[in-house]
Amino acid sequence: MFVLVNLKAYPCDPVEIAEAAADVSDETGVRVAVAPQAAHLPAVAETGVETWAQHVSPVEHGSHTGSTLAEAVADAGAAGTLINHSEARRKLADIDASLDAAERADLETVVCANNPDQVGAAAALGPDAVAVEPPELIGTGTPVSKADPDIVTDAVDAAAAVDESVDVFCGAGISTGDDLDAAADLGATGVLLASGVAKADDPRAALEDLVEPLA
């Protein structure tokens, strides 16, 4: 299982969380990555944790003020990027172009989707993984694996019907080791989470609890 912690724009210490994630990953052997704000990518990468961007823009080098260039993200230390998070939705053509940009920069990719139909459409674009995240559950502490487990199994089936090489991750409401176990039982090979770690009083303890079933 892959654990990807999205720090969004929460008022947390990205380096503290990155150091905790690196330690937990080293101690347990579980793959844990952290996706901070773009300005914090170098500092997070310096901790040694696997570092991801929250977004890359569908552009090449050129006149694109305000864009997040995939090559710049990679130069800052990122190994991968989220695309089309529900809080940063993109048109299908832009998702495709962002995937092209990530491929140019040799970044691993996870395309987020709201439901199994969108998962199938996203998988057809050839990302490394898709993540099903019903937006109404994001930040609630109620995981989709419990609220509506059929969404996860249907997403796994939808991706497999298009391209069996595309992994399916589970997001929205993930916060405990039980949530991670449930996602795995439904066929997911990774999880996305944010507030369960970024807003935790003790991010290290939250991460340790999360990966405990895998340790």
Asked whether residue 168 is assigned to any structural domain, the reply reads: yes
Residue 58 lies in a domain: yes
Q: Is 6 among the annotated ligand-binding positions? A: yes
Which of the 8 DSSP states describes residue 168?
E
DSSP state of 1: -
173 assigned to a ligand binding site: yes
H helices present in the chain, as ranges: 14-28, 41-46, 70-75, 92-104, 116-123, 144-147, 149-162, 177-185, 195-198, 203-211
pLDDT digits (tens, 9 = 90+) for 123-142: 999 999 999 987 776 666 67
User: What is the chain's mean pLDDT, rounded?
Assistant: 93
pLDDT tens column, 36-46: 999 999 999 99
Residue-number span of the structural domain to which 72 is assigned: 51-192
* 7 annotated as a binding-site residue: yes
- 80/213: higher pLDDT: 80
**Is 194 part of any known ligand binding site?**
yes
Per the structure, the count of domains in the chain is 1
pLDDT of residue 134: 77
Residue 67 resides in a domain: yes
- Contact between 55 and 27 under an 8 Å Cβ cutoff? The reply is no
- Give me the active site residues, please: 85, 133
Q: What is the share, in percent, of the chain residues with pLDDT greater than 70? A: 97
Separation between Cα atoms, residue 50 and residue 192, nearest integer Å: 14
Q: Any binding-site annotation on 83?
A: no
What whole-number distance in Å separates Cα of residue 172 and Cα of residue 181? 15
Which CATH number is 126's domain given?
A: 3.20.20.70
Whether 106 is covered by a domain: the verdict is yes
How many angstroms separate the Cα of 105 from the Cα of each of 66, 116, 148?
A: 18, 28, 36
Q: Is residue 70 in a domain? A: yes
On whether residue 155 sits in a domain, the answer given is yes
In a domain, 42, yes or no: no
What is the DSSP code string of 16-59? HHHHHHHHHHHHH--EEEEE--GGGHHHHHHTTSEEEES---S-
CB atoms within 10 A of CB 115: 16
Task: Report how far residue 131's alpha carbon sits from residue 150's, in angstroms, rounded to the nearest whole number.
Answer: 14
- Is residue 121 over pLDDT 90? yes
pLDDT digits (tens, 9 = 90+) for 2-30: 999 999 999 999 999 999 999 999 999 99
Res 141: pLDDT:
66
124 domain residue, yes or no: yes
> Measured in Å, how far apart are the chain's first and last C-alpha atoms?
11
Distance CA 175, CA 33 (A): 15
